Structure 1
Amino acid sequence: MKIVLAGGTGTLGRRIAADLADRGDDVVILTRRVRDELPYRQILWDGATVEDWAEELSGAAVINLAGELVDRRPTRANVDLLRASRVRPTCALVEAAAVLAEPPLVWLQASTLAIYGDAGEPELDETAPVGDGPVQMAGVARAWESAAALAEAATFHRAIVDGTRQVVLRMGIVLDRGAPALTRLTGLVRWGLGGRAGSGRQWVSWIHVEDLLAAVRHLLDDASLSGVVHVTGPNPVRNAELMAALRAILRRPPAPSVPAWLVRAGAVALRTDAALALTGRRGVPRRLLDAGFEFAHPDLVPALEDLLLAPHIAP
């Protein structure tokens, strides 16, 4: 299968590219700057303008991961950056696909479970209504998925109707060695700041990177799946459970809880967003499970032990 990957030079994009290349797929990365260390064909684009790169989409599988990291202060400028860095490249991809004689075969569109906002206790599967929440999380995610926002020229529906199977990947937090989320969490624990955040009862939806890679392969190959699919593990945990597991695995003593006001103050110093720690959602991968997908790392503690303690070969 030919894979055209937008956002393929980031941490997750590199993992997906390597995994698909290993199984024999022809991986092509759309990038603003060629990275000599990457062993894939790289095509320059500006993430906004439809140019010669558009022909690469013909008959291919498109995986769109384009977007800046969310781990930043929720200022208006940063929120605008998060939205534009997702919507503009997606619009360009959609506009390119809409005019091809042979449209993409399948389109995996990255999104996030943060689209449900601070969802509280209910268990959320793919039928759950999109909620309200911080604009830098739920608001950006809604814009990312919105057909109106993604297709300023009203071409998005045509691109899908004319033969492209689309899957929207609403992802939980991806746990991987060296990835931003796990690096941030382990750093806090090692600095003695590994207590629960706020009440500690907020739900954390997470997925081991190996299960995410397997889910991507499954969704590329299973023609029966389209629409929204939760790409997250089957057993979300509360923030307090996550932090306790990290302390135990990293052999750190119990740490005091961090009240919400102090999380907000600390987020300013760390140049991050307190909502990442203080809000939560209890997502479950109902459609993947119903399709027979089996998780290799369904439980948090063994998953973290695999990532933080087991020897590994760098991808």
Structure 2
Amino acid sequence: MKYHKIILAGGNGQLGKALAGYYKDLAEHVIILSRKAAPTKGNINTLVWNSRTPGDWVKELEGADLLVNLCGKNVNCRYTKENREEIICSRVEPTRLLGKVVDGLINPPKLWINAASATIYRHAEDRPQDEETGEIGYGFSIDVCKQWEQAFFETETPHTRKVALRISIVLGHNEGALPRLINLVKAGMGGHQGDGQQYVSWVHEQDVVKCTEWLLQHPEINGVLNCTTPNPIKNTDLMKELRNACGVPFGLPAPAWLLEMGAALIGTETELILKSRWVLPKRLLDTGFQFQFAKVEHAIKDIISIRV
């Protein structure tokens, strides 16, 4: 075994499952902190926590190689007052709790990776945004990102290295954005959304997973890091690649006004589709990280080929 213990807080979602599957053969123990109990699977154990108060789970963080915090309500919803509060609290409260816990441990985790979002950057169609020259945007989603990162960095953890991983849209096999887009394509509605010129920054879930181990192996890296492919793509080109992969020759486009109506009906926000996210992973590339899936057509084909 290469690692002793991997802790995944909020590890029942898309990325948590991918991380657990990856580290189960590389670590002696993989521990998921979840609000719901689950049976033990080999060396993967689930511990119940409420993400707001300490409990018996605290002692399991002692001696961990890696703590990954993935907690946060899905933003694919209408931004009502209630949902806005839950989106913020579900990110800030667990992060602050883990900060206090880590600060009080005798042998705290060597590395703490906190999920963050690449949507913190402004709408960008003029130039790409990276960690050094990127400009922070404005609006509710950006406010969430700022509060999330502030909660992460506000606690001093001298014996635990910290990385805020600004993750773009994650392409995965059974959850997230890609299955929904594939369903649109197969229903004949896989044309561009809006004017189609907005950039989509994306990353294959396996590259996110491999990025976490890369950070484990490179102790000189800390702070803010963009986790997104070096090859973002315009919405119109993304939908074309999806149609090609699915063997669908044509897709009806969805203008902005139609998206507004549809978003209201299905309970989401058009920002998730229309904002131009042109983000580059400068720091990762500078350290030599190589993406397994750097081109979207390869990522899509991989995901479709083994989708269950």
Distance in 2, Cα, partners of 1:295 & 1:21: 22
Match for 1:249 among 233, 245, 250?
A: 245
Partner of 2:10: 7
Match for 1:219 among 199, 212, 215?
A: 215
Distance in 1, Cα, partners of 2:27 & 2:72: 26
User: Are residue 87 (structure 1) and residue 85 (structure 2) matched?
Assistant: no
Closer, same or farther in 2 for the Cα pair 1:244/1:183, shift >3 Å? same
String of CA shifts for 1:174-209, please: whole Å, max 9, x gaps: 111112211111111122221111111111011112
CA contact (8 A) 2:18 2:206 kept: no
Distance in 2, Cα, partners of 1:88 & 1:130: 26
Partner of 1:33: 36
Q: Which moved more, 1:167-176 or 1:122-131?
A: 122-131
Match for 1:124 among 116, 126, 129?
A: 129
Closer, same or farther in 2 for the Cα pair 1:167/1:131, shift >3 Å? same
Unaligned runs of 5+ in 1: none
Which 4+ runs in 1 deviate beyond 6 A? none
CA contact (8 A) 2:39 2:45 kept: no
Match for 2:297 among 274, 298, 301?
A: 301
String of CA shifts for 1:138-178, please: whole Å, max 9, x gaps: 1211111114xx58xxxx4322xx22110111011111111
Partner of 1:62: 67
Distance in 2, Cα, partners of 1:200 & 1:223: 40
| TM-fit CA distance, 1:121 | 2.5
Distance in 2, Cα, partners of 1:49 & 1:311: 39
CA contact (8 A) 1:3 1:62 kept: yes
State the SS of the aligned residue for 1:197: coil
State the SS of the aligned residue for 2:23: helix
Distance in 2, Cα, partners of 1:68 & 1:178: 18
Unaligned runs of 5+ in 2: none
| TM-fit CA distance, 1:119 | 2.8
State the SS of the aligned residue for 1:276: helix
| TM-fit CA distance, 1:45 | 1.0
Q: Which amino acid letter does the alignment assign opposite residue 48 of structure 1?
A: R
Q: Give the percent of matched residue pairs that are identical in Structure 1 and Structure 2.
A: 36
CA contact (8 A) 1:71 1:272 kept: yes
Distance in 1, Cα, partners of 2:188 & 2:79: 25
TM-score, structure 2 normalization: 0.93
Closer, same or farther in 2 for the Cα pair 1:286/1:180, shift >3 Å? same
Q: Which amino acid letter does the alignment assign opposite residue 52 of structure 1?
A: D
State the SS of the aligned residue for 2:89: helix
String of CA shifts for 1:92-143, please: whole Å, max 9, x gaps: 11111111222321100101101114233321111134522341x2121111
Partner of 2:117: 112
Q: Which amino acid letter does the alignment assign opposite residue 15 of structure 1?
A: A
The 5-angstrom pairing of residues 133-172 of structure 1 reads 133-135=138-140, 137-147=141-151, 150=152, 156-159=154-157, 162-172=158-168
String of CA shifts for 1:212-233, please: whole Å, max 9, x gaps: 2111111122111111111111
Partner of 2:48: 44
Partner of 2:186: 190
String of CA shifts for 1:39-58, please: whole Å, max 9, x gaps: 41222211000223222222
State the SS of the aligned residue for 1:282: coil
Partner of 2:172: 176
| TM-fit CA distance, 1:8 | 0.8
